[in-house]
Amino acid sequence: MTTAIWWIRRDLRLRDNQALAAALAHGDRVIPAFVLDPQLLASPYVGSKRLAFLLGGLRALDGDLRAKGSRLIVQRGDPADILAALMSESGATAVFAEEDISPYARARDARIAGRLPLTLTSGLTAQPLSAVLKPGGRPYTVFTPFSRAWKAMTPPQPRDIVAAPRRIETPDDLHSLPIPAGPALSATVPFVPREAEAQRKLDAFVQSGVDRYADARDRMDLAGTSQLSPYLRFGMLSARQAVVAAFEAMRKASDREARKGAETWLNQLIWREFYVAILYHFPNARRESFRPELRDVPWRNNERDFQAWREGLTGYPVVDAAMRQLVSTGWMHNRARMIVASFLVKDLLIDWRSGERHFMQHLVDGGTELRFEVDVRTGRWWMNLPIPFAPRVVRASFETIMGWGREGLARTLGVPVELCSTDGGEPIGRIGSRA
């Protein structure tokens, strides 16, 4: 009887899990294993909400595994040592894991592959990471040609989605640590950490949201986005299944508007594939601006301004409500992210990496690909906008068109009305000469 280890990292799901499928194809018994890596847990980019969401997802996955006759094996320590010990204890002959893209993950996996029989599978993206390349074999650095090449590839089909296994045989005598009890997920975080919830949200969005997505996604006063990002971040939903759902929505669209909505959502999923591919091919983008001309910006980096931005005390209601929503809920609408990020780098002249760190410490969906998105998008704003981005203009426009006030902002962003107070102070963005 052969045994394989399914090493879980960012794939907390049973449905359409290529690493799990490979482990099941290899062995009669499969050990679902998660390693609490002290080096990752000690990172300054770890946020308590995101960690709580992960731990909640592990508990839910353990419950799903137990319903299949299995259970989650949790250990703490260096992954190489933990996996080697688990192989020795169980007699496992292979380890299967979904590939990851961060420099740390790739170095770790290369080190472990030199010591253990580790096989990495696809799954982080809908198309393999190294598949979307220029004719000469070089990676794309601009989205539009990347998108064209991506769309020219054979798209995944419904038949490609791997069903969750009916049963998983796992040795019952293996030692496992309890899943840590804390940090606990705050009641203000509007996401339930489990695969079933990801499936429910996907189904609900495809049935009643994607038709209007092209226009509704830009409206912070509407629930117009899929809100699937935390589930894609932790692999409670596969990127492939989301892409298949987008193509199916396009095929079944009842009119031009509905098809445009599905096409727009597909493009957003391809943006995610693009960011992942960039970090896969250009790992330095994690530490410095991808565009050389933006690496020596003379940042002002005023700590008082930065603190006001972090705490939502800039005096601009749209910025402040969004920043307080972030701290309270661990989420922020995509357009609000654009507003607050652009305000930080273009109005306050504060290094994007400082803002990125704050995002990562609070966002439930924060991940490596988000880091590049913040840099690339603020870089693009910086180069393309002739004047500093002005949240006061956004505020005036929104309040004129939509009747926003403190109450309107509170309803729009789903936060208490007190989070939308300006505190009566002068907006800090007007004090442009302050050193």
Output the domain CATH number for residue 277. 1.25.40.80
pLDDT computed for residue 287 by the predictor: 75
List, edge to edge, every strand of the sheet that includes 3-8. 73-76, 29-36, 3-8, 94-98, 118-121
Last residue of a domain, one of 282, 302, 334: 282
- 42 in a domain, yes or no? yes
Q: What are the residues facing 98 on neighbouring strands? A: 121
Q: Residue 156 in contact with residue 244, Cβ under 8 Å?
A: yes
pLDDT computed for residue 126 by the predictor: 98
Q: How many domains does the chain have?
A: 3
Last residue of a domain, one of 101, 124, 147: 124
Q: What residue type is 240 in one-letter code?
A: R
- 278 in a domain, yes or no? yes
Residues 379 and 424 in one domain: yes
pLDDT computed for residue 119 by the predictor: 98
User: Which of 162, 178, 164, 161 has its CA nearest to residue 71?
Assistant: 178
Task: Say which residue the tokens 């598949």 belong to.
Answer: 131
- 157 in a domain, yes or no? no
CATH number (domain holding residue 40)? 3.40.50.620
pLDDT computed for residue 410 by the predictor: 64
Contacts of 63 (CB under 8 A, 6+ apart): none
pLDDT computed for residue 405 by the predictor: 56
pLDDT computed for residue 400 by the predictor: 37
Range of the domain at 43: 3-124
Task: Say which residue the tokens 């650095």 belong to.
Answer: 141
Contacts of 364 (CB under 8 A, 6+ apart): 47, 49, 50, 53, 189, 191, 230, 233, 330, 331
pLDDT computed for residue 402 by the predictor: 39
Task: Say which residue the tokens 């004129």 belong to.
Answer: 400
Task: Say which residue the tokens 């253990």 belong to.
Answer: 116
pLDDT computed for residue 394 by the predictor: 46
Size of the chain, expressed as the number of residues it contains = 435
- 397 in a domain, yes or no? yes
Pairwise CA distance, residues 147 & 143, whole Å: 6
Q: Residue 294 in contact with residue 379, Cβ under 8 Å?
A: yes
Residues 14 and 103 in one domain: yes
- 267 in a domain, yes or no? yes
Tokens representing residue 36 in the block: 């609490």
pLDDT computed for residue 421 by the predictor: 53
Contacts of 78 (CB under 8 A, 6+ apart): 37, 38
- 130 in a domain, yes or no? no
DSSP state of 210: G
CA 73 to each of CA 46, 62, 65, 195, 248: distance values in angstroms, whole numbers, following the listed order: 23, 9, 10, 18, 36
Q: How many helical (H) and strand (E) elements, i.e. helices and strands, does the chain have?
A: 18, 5
Residues 314 and 425 in one domain: yes
pLDDT computed for residue 285 by the predictor: 76
Last residue of a domain, one of 124, 159, 175: 124
Pairwise CA distance, residues 336 & 413, whole Å: 9
| SS3 annotation, 337-361 | HHHHHHHHHHHCCCCHHHHHHHHHH
435 residues of the chain, pLDDT tens digit each: 899 999 999 999 999 999 999 999 998 999 999 999 999 999 998 999 999 999 999 999 999 999 999 999 999 999 999 999 999 999 999 999 999 998 999 999 999 999 999 999 999 999 998 899 999 999 999 999 999 999 999 999 999 999 999 999 999 999 999 999 999 999 999 999 999 999 999 999 999 999 999 999 988 888 899 999 999 999 999 999 999 999 999 999 999 999 999 999 999 999 999 989 988 998 887 777 777 877 888 999 999 999 999 999 998 888 998 999 999 999 998 888 888 998 998 899 999 889 989 999 999 998 754 443 444 333 333 333 333 444 444 444 444 333 445 666 666 555 666 655 544 445 554 433 343
Tokens representing residue 185 in the block: 């997920």
Residues 235 and 349 in one domain: no
Q: What residue type is 53 in one-letter code?
A: F
Residues 37 and 111 in one domain: yes
Degrees to nearest 5, angle at CA 143 with 139 and 148: 85
